[in-house]
Structure 1
Amino acid sequence: METVEETVDVAVPVHTAYNQWTQFESFPQFMSGVESVTQLSHTTNHWVTKVGGVKREFDTEIVDQEPDDRIAWRSTDGKSHAGIIRFTPLDATHTKVKVHFEWAPETVTEKAGAALQIDKMQVKSDMRKFKDFIESRGTETGGWRGEVEDTGPTGQF
């Protein structure tokens, strides 16, 4: 199991950073390797990714969500993928965004990439792209303020 953590400070209020992160279908605009995310319901998403030439499709569910604080997810189709993103206000106009996720590399390419820490470098790059995306806009593209009750250990990171 691989664990990736990355933190970035963004120059927007916590509600702006959080609201943007609830707009899953915008992820391809700042996440490398994510071709599309289709929101199926308030708590489920279908992902299409292509990393290192390997195309994957999988579904995730939100298992714990508290506005302006956290969003936790896990895969629902047997792939080992789970994580949490936390939002901490630093002041009225700055927010710390921290992502923590775990995944199990399956292919030789994925295992080699994990060994070389390419996954960690990609997440670091994607968090910088999120920072650039949200700061250049100054506002979110939308937002969902609903709550999802913690249903398991994923929310404990």
Structure 2
Amino acid sequence: MPSPPHAPLRADPLTRGLGLFSAALGVPQVLRPAEVARALGVGDAPRHRTATVVVGVRELVAAAGLLGRPHPAWLWARVGGDAMDLTLMGRALRHHDGRGLQRTVLSTAALAVVTAVDVHAALTRSNRKETRRPMELTSTTTVTRPPEEVYAFWRQLDRLPTFMAHLDEVRDTGGGRSRWKASAPFGKSVEWDAETTADVPGERIAWRSLDGADVPNNGEVLFLPAPGGRGTEVHVALNYRIPGGAVGKAVARWFGEEPSQQLDDDLRRFKQVMETGEVVRSDGAPRGKQAREEFPQHPAHPLTDDERAEALA
């Protein structure tokens, strides 16, 4: 069974310590709000007791999250709570009647220190690679060509950009390694080095990116005989991390660059290239998204044997 996406945070001392700290703050605020309010120097008026209870409940919720299912979102929730608390303490200082002023000042200073710790924890734990869940994509197509021929085409890495919309260049650097360059949202590009981890002629190709990749990734392609001798089933599985994590994924989808749809479209084009030698469309088909405009498209027509041989040469 795979580990939870943020399992490493369970063993993180700072995350666990902040969870225990939230629990230690929340319990007395809920059970004895008047005493806590007086200790902070803000008095025990009904509105102060109510605010103290609300803050206590928030702390207990954060503690449950950080100790039960740790995730950077809970750390950011603490940061948001700190901002709220600082606002409340600022108002208390402005409207203070002088009684308990020193306690209020000290409480505000201590809260500022806690806020700094929470911000540090949220930033560093959000940016840790091990807290980012890889995106897992799979797709399948059937090509009416034999597995050996389909494998041979895919194995020549410099041909991959002919059907992968966001892939600009793949260059074989020797020794089972290659250099990849791909387009990213907002006109950016990403590059990485990869190595082939499995290569079974006519059956399977697997790879993984090397350290320092802009987009850490790995994957494999299986070439299986289709039932009834109908050609080859191509099964692709990819795992990678989108820059910017979940935010980057949401932005990419908003701009029409949904990764799972990209993979489906790439395999559709691969099928067309293998069977006809080019990416084809009907005369009335629209050009579609900008990514598809990179490919020369023509009305569909079957290739002659000589044309197909030339395309696959």
Normalising by the residue count of structure 2, what TM-score does the alignment of the two structures yield? 0.42
Larger Rg over CA atoms: 2
Provide the residue aligned with 1:59 in structure 2: 193
The secondary structure found in structure 1 opposite 2:179 is strand
Q: Which runs of 5+ in 1 are unaligned?
A: 143-157
Q: Which moved more, 1:1-10 or 1:41-50?
A: 41-50
The secondary structure found in structure 1 opposite 2:312 is coil
Provide the residue aligned with 2:204 in structure 1: 70
Structure whose residues are more often helix by fraction:
2
Normalising by the residue count of structure 1, what TM-score does the alignment of the two structures yield? 0.82
Matched, 1:110 2:248: yes
Partners of 2:269 and 2:164 in 1: CA distance = 7
Contact 1:27 1:34 in 2 (8 A): yes
Matched, 1:13 2:146: yes
Provide the residue aligned with 1:89 in structure 2: 225
Larger RCO (CA under 8 A, 6+ residues apart): 1
**1:51-89, Cα deviation, whole Å (9 max, x unpaired):** 212200101100011011100100013332000100001
Q: Shift of the alpha carbon at 1:43?
A: 1.1
State the AA in 2 paired with 1:141: L
The secondary structure found in structure 2 opposite 1:57 is strand
Q: Shift of the alpha carbon at 1:41?
A: 1.2
Contact 1:2 1:114 in 2 (8 A): no
Contact 1:88 1:95 in 2 (8 A): yes
Q: Which runs of 5+ in 2 are unaligned?
A: 1-133, 278-307
State the AA in 2 paired with 1:118: E
Contact 1:105 1:114 in 2 (8 A): no
Contact 1:33 1:51 in 2 (8 A): yes
Partners of 2:248 and 2:177 in 1: CA distance = 25
State, as a whole percentage, how many aligned pairs show the same letter: 27
- Corresponding residue to 1:129 among 264, 269, 286: 269
State the AA in 2 paired with 1:102: N
Structure 1 runs of 4+ aligned residues shifted over 4 Å read: 114-117
Partners of 2:147 and 2:171 in 1: CA distance = 24
Partners of 2:197 and 2:212 in 1: CA distance = 16
Partners of 1:59 and 1:141 in 2: CA distance = 26
Structure whose residues are more often strand by fraction:
1
Q: Which moved more, 1:123-132 or 1:47-56?
A: 47-56
Provide the residue aligned with 1:147 in structure 2: none
Partners of 2:257 and 2:161 in 1: CA distance = 21
Partners of 2:162 and 2:191 in 1: CA distance = 18
Contact 1:37 1:48 in 2 (8 A): yes
